[in-house]
Amino acid sequence: MTLSRRHFVQTVGIGAGAALTSSIWGRGRENAIWSAIEPDLQAVAPGVVCIASNENPVGPGPKVLGELKALMEGGKKPGRYSNQVGDLTDAIAKHFNVKGENVLLGEGSTEILRAATQVFTSKTKALVGTIPTYEECAGYAELIGNPVKGVKLNGDLKMDLDLMLAQAKGAGLVFYCNPNNPVSTYVGAKATRDFLTKMTQQSPETLILVDEAYFDYVTDPDHETHVPFALEHPNVIVARTFSKAYGMAGLRQGYAIGNAETLKKLRPWCAPSGTGSLNLFGMAAATAAIGQDASFTANERARNKEVRDMMMKYFKDKGMKPADCQANFMFVDIGTPAKEFRDACRAKNVLVGRDFPPYEKTHARISLGTMEEMQKAIKVFDQVLGKKTTTAAA
C-alpha cells in the first residue's frame, strides 16, 4: 500500500466550508473526504505500529471471531441479504434491559451521529459541542448548511459545563462526547446527570446526544451509563459503538438507545432492514460480542489501563503533561506541533493521531496499542521528542 493514496482526496470535496470547520473544530478525519488536511492515509503494514485511530489493538476476541468463522463456513451466506437486524436489536435490548423500540442500529455510530444532526439541527437551530471534539456532527451540520457553535474546554481540557449550558440554550443538538475525543478527559456521572437535567429544564426541545463510544475504558469510580436517563427523557439519546472496546472498527456497527418516539424520528436516516440492512459480518459479530458477559469489557479495560498507566508515567517523567485520561488514547502537551511529531514518528513506522485544532501546535493524540507496541513507540518517541527533557528530572 503506497503512501500516495490521498493524492486524490486532496482534489475532491474540500470546499470553503471544510476549511472553515478545520480551523474551528479540528477537522482531520481519516475518511476520503475529510482526510484532505491529513498528511497521510496508510494501511497498517506489517511492522508498523498504528496508534492513530483509537482502535482496540487486540480485536474482538475468540468468541466473536468464532461466530464469524461459523458464518463463513459453506460460504453461501454472504450472498444473502441479512435478516439479522432483529437478532442484533434484541441482543442490544437485552443487554440494556430495554425494548427493541428503544434501540436504533447504525452503520457505526457515525450513522447515528449524522441522523441526529440531520433531524435536530436546522438553519436556526445550531449544533453545540466542545472545541475540539469528535468531528462527525460538526462536519455533517456544515455539509447540510446548519450552524455550529463551539464551546471552549477549560484549562484541564475538560468540558466546561456551565459554559455549555449557556451556549446550548435553544440549540437543536448538543453533542456530548464523554470521554471526550480527542482530549480523553471525562466528566463524572453525577455532573453529567446534573447537566442533562438542567438542559432538560432550560431547553427541553434540544436533543442531547451523549456519545459513550469510550464508555468501557473509563476507570473513574464516578461512572455510569446515561441510558436510564435517556429512556426517561425524550430529549436525550445515548450513542454506542462496537468500534472501540469491542474491537470491531472494520465491521461498522453502532447504535443509539433512547426514547422510542425520539428514535422514530431518526430511523428514516439510518440503515433500514432487508436489502439495505447492515452487513452480515458486522451484525453477527456484534450480536455475539454484546452477548458476552461483562468480563470481556472488564478485561479489555484492565488491559488498556495497564498500558495507559505506563504511558501516563512515561510522559509525566518527560515533563510533558497528558490530559487526565479515561479512554484508550491520550492527549499530550508535547510542546511541538503535532504534524512535526507525526511525520517524524511515521518515518520510524509509528502512526499517531491527526491534528486537533486549536491544540495542533502543542498537543498530540496518541492511541494506546498493546504493551509491546507502546514499548516500541516509546523508543521512537524518545528519539523524536528527546530522551529526557530538562524538567523531567524532578
Partner 1 sequence: MAEAMQQNRNGGGRMTRPNLPPGVEAIRISSNENPLGPGKAAIDAILGKFPEANRYPFNSTPLDADLEILIAKVNTAKRENVVLGVGSQEILKNTARVFTSPTKHLVIPSPTYGDPAGFAQNVLKVTVKSAPVDPKTLKTNLDALLPLTKGAGLVYLCNPNNPTATVTGLDDIKKFVAEVHKTSPTTAILLDEAYNDYADPAQFQTAIPFALATPNVIVARTFSKAYGMAGVRIGYAIGHVDTIRKMARYRMPYNVNTFGVAAAVASLKDPQHIKEEVARNKQVRDFTLKALKDLGYDSTDSQTNFIFTDIGRTMTAAQFREACAKDGIMVGRDFPPLEKQWARISIGTMDEMQKATETFRKVLRPAMTTASGKGQ
What one-character DSSP code corresponds to residue 390? T
Q: For residues 56 and 184, which CB has a smaller minimum distance to partner 1 in the complex?
A: 56
Q: Which of residues 20-59 bind partner 1 (CB under 8 A)?
A: 29-35, 41-45, 50, 52-53, 55-59
Q: Which of residues 112-131 bind partner 1 (CB under 8 A)?
A: 114
Cβ 44 to partner 1 shortest distance, Å: 5
Q: For residues 179 and 282, which CB has a smaller minimum distance to partner 1 in the complex?
A: 282
Contact 6, 36 (CB under 8 A): yes
Instruction: Determine which residue in the list 21, 28, 36, 108 makes contact with partner 1, applying CB under 8 A.
Output: 108
Contact 353, 365 (CB under 8 A): yes
CA 11 to chain centre: 27
> Can you state the percent helix, strand and coil of the chain, rounding each to 5?
45, 15, 40
Tell me: does residue 300 bind partner 1 (CB under 8 A): no
Tell me: does residue 84 bind partner 1 (CB under 8 A): yes
Q: For residues 104 and 345, which CB has a smaller minimum distance to partner 1 in the complex?
A: 104
What one-character DSSP code corresponds to residue 153? B
Q: Compute, in degrees rounded to 10, the torsion defined by CA atoms 254, 258, 262, 265.
A: 20
Tell me: does residue 83 bind partner 1 (CB under 8 A): yes
Q: For residues 168 and 285, which CB has a smaller minimum distance to partner 1 in the complex?
A: 285
Neighbours of 97 (CB within 10 A): 10
CA distances from 50 to 81, 342, 348, 351 (A): 33, 12, 12, 5
Whose CA is closest to 103, among 267, 215, 294? 267
Identity of residue 147: P
Neighbours of 205 (CB within 10 A): 10
Q: Which of residues 133-162 bind partner 1 (CB under 8 A)?
A: 136, 139, 143
Cβ 7 to partner 1 shortest distance, Å: 9
Cβ 327 to partner 1 shortest distance, Å: 16
Tell me: does residue 75 bind partner 1 (CB under 8 A): yes
Q: For residues 115 and 171, which CB has a smaller minimum distance to partner 1 in the complex?
A: 115
Cβ 331 to partner 1 shortest distance, Å: 19
In which residue are the cell numbers 481519516 written? 30
Q: Which stretch binds partner 1 (CB under 8 A): 86-94, 156-164, 223-231, 372-380?
A: 86-94
Cβ 46 to partner 1 shortest distance, Å: 9
Q: For residues 236 and 289, which CB has a smaller minimum distance to partner 1 in the complex?
A: 289
Neighbours of 114 (CB within 10 A): 23
Tell me: does residue 341 bind partner 1 (CB under 8 A): no
Site string for partner 1, 243-282 (x = CB under 8 A): x---xxxxxx-------x--xx--xxxxxxxxxxxxxxxx
CA distance linking residue 264 with residue 185, whole number of Å: 32
